[in-house]
Amino acid sequence: MKGGFRQSMAWLHTWTGLLLGWLLFAIFVTGTSAYFQEEITLWMTPEVRSVPADPASGFVAATEWLKREASDGSEWSIYSTGKRAAGLQLYWVNGPDAPADAPTSARLDGTGTRVFARETLGGWFLYRFHYDLHYINWYWARWLVGIAAMAMLVAILSGIVTHKKILADFFLLRFGKGQRSWLDAHNASSVLFLPFILMITYTGLVSLATHYMPWGIAANYADEGKFFDATSPWPVPGEKTGAAPLAPIGPMVERAEQAWGSAAGSVRILNPGDRSAQVIVSSAPDAGMSISLRSLTFDGVTGRPVGALDPSGAATVTEDTMIGIHAGRFASPWLRALYFLSGVAGCVMVASGLILWTVKRRARLSDPERPHFGFRLVEKLNIAAIAGLPFGMAVYFLANRLLPLGIAGRSDREIDTMFIAWGAVAIWALARPARRAWLETLSATALAFAAVPVVNALTTDRSLFTSLAAGDAVFAAFDGAMLLIAVGFGWAALKVARRQEGRVSSRRASAGAIPGVEAA
Amino acid sequence: MIHLLLFLFAFAGFAMLCAARDRHQRDLLGRKLRAGTAVRMRRGGLFLLLLAYPVAGLALGWGYGAVEWLGQLSGGALLTVLLLTHLSARGATGR
């Protein structure tokens, strides 16, 4: 019976992993990129120079800017773009006299000077894609992602049961041994990074828990809006009552930061320049492990505090801390690098698991030259997912530099370009024999990533050499990372090419070398 | 500095655990350890891995420290595995 339980777990692991593996791979890749979403956005807006600046003085400079440019607005919002990307994003609501097409947002650099960046969603789009997907309604997308995450949790737990010798094989990673090597890579990437992989799957489910299980809210609040009003209130400006000067913002931000012992992240000003003015200072999302934001509300004329919000319920704090650990916004560079490395391990785990499905079954095919439909489908979808999405992302970065700056809906065109490229790889994979398609798509992906720094050097004045000379860490690291990823895909393409050379002999040899199937 | 120290703890800990294993000793150290030495190696490795947690907690705060400790453990284990893979591949061609 013992073998029976392990075998049913192996079955569960194989099929939950396969069925949702392609979607999980996309979630892992884009989610991993999100650990550097600020940096990706900085690279994708080369017009913005990151000037190190003191956020507190940035809020003051931004308020002065809004006084000049949006003086009759009914609401101003100033967001610091975070400690990794000094800058400010402003939004405002114009007064009734403003023309309908008057601007309502602006980007300032760290010193409070306006910058005009190209229209792009940058790294934020990749972050959003990892749970809202694209082109389909976000409501159903989150259900799909949730089902994938649940399948992931099932696959992890059943995988642990299936993997007999988790401690005995802990350090094993053998290259050049066919199926054995794929199994080693699958085991190593999941076992060594098990804390991260368990955490990221579980907290990922928690972060959308109220989406999947709305009944707790439904039982206690009349509708979802009332729940969000209660947990994260969003006051709106009332009637204006007569002009009065706005008190200085600097001391309010300072007072809030002293009260929390951490940095402020945003300032909202309701009815600026009016007697009813209110200033709401909120803490920075990257200041602590929990994502719950604290805020202090000040009277906008006297500058005295009139209210405070400090979420402290045990359940809320637990949930918000879990989401905080998932997103890792609080992480310092070293921990961020570990988060990213762990994310890459997750991608390797999913990809090697998908490939293992075909490698295991190829040896058992009755006629390896003409595999059955199911086998071919999995093989082609593997290529479409594992080479296709990274290729699409490289093209997304290239499109950011190559699309004309003035075209309408530019940010959407960038995104469309990414999916067109991804789709092209999928069609290519369907049309070509699988082994040829692996070689061709992996090579194309390597070339596309290698092209990113080259095109960047040709289209901006911030080439890799300039960035290195100027000590511009974000740009230099981004270009360097592109080259590193290109080398990775090039290495994979080379491996495929070598295998094809000695195809017949190596297949016989590796099929003979496998002593038996040890795990799914 | 503390990050590097934690990484060294994790790497040294896993390398010692790995060296305590019969099947890896020849690849990693080039010779067999006596049974008593292997046991001490295992205990020492475990001790280093566990010791890294209070060090991380005291230096970085207990919440942040716990997250970083787990991340560093994975990093240290990965380096150990890559080193072992490299050494055993070299040993296989050298022999």
List, for residues B9-25, the tens digit of each pLDDT value: 999 999 999 999 988 88
| Residue B58 in this model has a pLDDT that exceeds 90 | yes
The mean pLDDT of A168-187, rounded to a whole number, is 89
- List the single residue in A173, A325, A331 with the smallest CB-CB distance to B85: A173
pLDDT category of residue A512 using cuts at 50, 70 and 90 = very low
- Look up tokens 């989401």; give the residue: A323
- Please give the pLDDT value at position A220: 83
pLDDT in tens, A415-452: 999 999 999 999 999 999 999 999 999 999 999 999 99
| SS3 call for A270 | strand
- List the single residue in A175, A192, A325 with the smallest CB-CB distance to B74: A192
Cβ–Cβ gap A335/B84 under 8 Å: no
In 3D space, the residue among A319, A353, A392 whose CA is nearest the CA of residue A134 turns out to be A392
Residue A506's CB is within 10 A of a number of other CB atoms, namely 15
CA R_g for chain B: 15
Are residues A391 and A441 in contact, defined by beta-carbon separation less than 8 angstroms? Answer: yes
| Residue A294 in this model has a pLDDT that exceeds 80 | yes
Q: Shortest Cα distance from A67 to chain B (angstroms)?
A: 40
Q: What are phi and psi of A299, to 5 degrees?
A: -70, 125
Are residues A132 and A138 in contact, defined by beta-carbon separation less than 8 angstroms? Answer: yes
| Residue A86 in this model has a pLDDT that exceeds 70 | yes
d(CA A125, CA A416): 12
In 3D space, the residue among A56, A418, A93, A440 whose CA is nearest the CA of residue A254 turns out to be A56
In 3D space, the residue among A166, A251, A102, A292 whose CA is nearest the CA of residue A91 turns out to be A102
| Residue A519 in this model has a pLDDT that exceeds 80 | no
The two beta strands, A75-80 and A87-93, are antiparallel
- List the single residue in A171, A195, A325 with the smallest CB-CB distance to B74: A195
> Which of A32, A170, A171 has the highest number of chain B CBs within 10 A, making it the mutation to test binding with B?
A171
In 3D space, the residue among A28, A78, A36, A77 whose CA is nearest the CA of residue A58 turns out to be A78
- Please give the pLDDT value at position A444: 98
Name every chain A residue with its beta carbon within 8 A of the beta carbon of B18: 171
pLDDT category of residue A101 using cuts at 50, 70 and 90 = confident
Round the average pLDDT of chain A to a whole number and report it. 90
Residue that wins the pLDDT comparison between A486 and A98: A486
pLDDT in tens, A132-154: 999 999 999 999 999 999 999 99
Q: What's the 3-state SS for B21-85?
A: CHHHHHHHHCCCCCHHHHHHHHHHHHHHHHHHHHHHHHHHCHHHHHHHHHHHHHHHHHHHHHHHH
The mean pLDDT of B44-57, rounded to a whole number, is 97
Cβ–Cβ gap A174/B84 under 8 Å: no
d(CA B21, CA A218): 55
Q: What are phi and psi of A449, to 5 degrees?
A: -65, -40
Residue that wins the pLDDT comparison between A403 and B30: A403
Mark out chain B residues that contact chain A at CB-CB < 8 A.
3, 14, 18, 21, 24, 63-64, 67-68, 70-75, 77-78, 80-82, 84-85, 88-89
Residue that wins the pLDDT comparison between B67 and A216: B67
Return the percentage of chain A with pLDDT > 90, whole number. 65
| Residue B30 in this model has a pLDDT that exceeds 70 | yes
Which of A181-190, A214-223, A343-352, A501-510 shows the lowest mean pLDDT across its residues? A501-510
d(CA B80, CA B28): 10
Are residues B19 and B33 in contact, defined by beta-carbon separation less than 8 angstroms? Answer: yes
Cβ–Cβ gap B71/A335 under 8 Å: yes
pLDDT in tens, A362-400: 888 888 788 889 999 999 999 999 999 999 999 999 999
pLDDT category of residue A515 using cuts at 50, 70 and 90 = very low
Q: Is A342 on the interface with B (CB under 8 A)?
A: yes
> Which of B62, B67, B81 has the highest number of chain A CBs within 10 A, making it the mutation to test binding with A?
B67
pLDDT category of residue A113 using cuts at 50, 70 and 90 = confident
Are residues A110 and A53 in contact, defined by beta-carbon separation less than 8 angstroms? Answer: yes
- Please give the pLDDT value at position A267: 95
End-to-end CA distance of chain A: 18
In 3D space, the residue among A29, A34, A24, A323 whose CA is nearest the CA of residue A152 turns out to be A24
CB pairs under 8 A between A and B: 62
Could you give the dihedral angle defined by the CA atoms of residues A445, A450, A456 and A458, in that order, rounded to the nearest 10 degrees? -120
| Residue A517 in this model has a pLDDT that exceeds 50 | no
Name every chain A residue with its beta carbon within 8 A of the beta carbon of B75: 338, 341
Estimate the crossing angle of helix A122-132 against helix A2-33, to 10 degrees. 150
The mean pLDDT of A308-335, rounded to a whole number, is 90
Between vectors from CA A298 to CA A292 and to CA A303, what angle results, nearest 5°? 145
pLDDT category of residue A513 using cuts at 50, 70 and 90 = very low
Can you read off the two tokens belonging to residue A230? 């209660």
| SS3 call for A244 | coil
Residue that wins the pLDDT comparison between A391 and A504: A391
d(CA A324, CA A289): 5
Q: What's the DSSP call for residue A243? A: B
In 3D space, the residue among A495, A496, A483 whose CA is nearest the CA of residue A394 turns out to be A483
Find all residues with CB under 8 Å of A66, minimum gap 6, and list them: A73, A76, A78, A90, A92, A269, A272
pTM: 0.92
pLDDT category of residue A52 using cuts at 50, 70 and 90 = low
Cβ–Cβ gap B70/A196 under 8 Å: yes
Find all residues with CB under 8 Å of A5, minimum gap 6, and list them: A161
Can you read off the two tokens belonging to residue A517? 């199937």
Which of A54-68, A114-128, A420-434 shows the lowest mean pLDDT across its residues? A54-68
Can you read off the two tokens belonging to residue A335? 């921990």
Strand partners, A397: none
Which of A39-43, A195-199, A363-367, A389-393 shows the lowest mean pLDDT across its residues? A363-367
- Please give the pLDDT value at position A222: 80
| SS3 call for A295 | strand
- Please give the pLDDT value at position A514: 39
Are residues A493 and A443 in contact, defined by beta-carbon separation less than 8 angstroms? Answer: yes
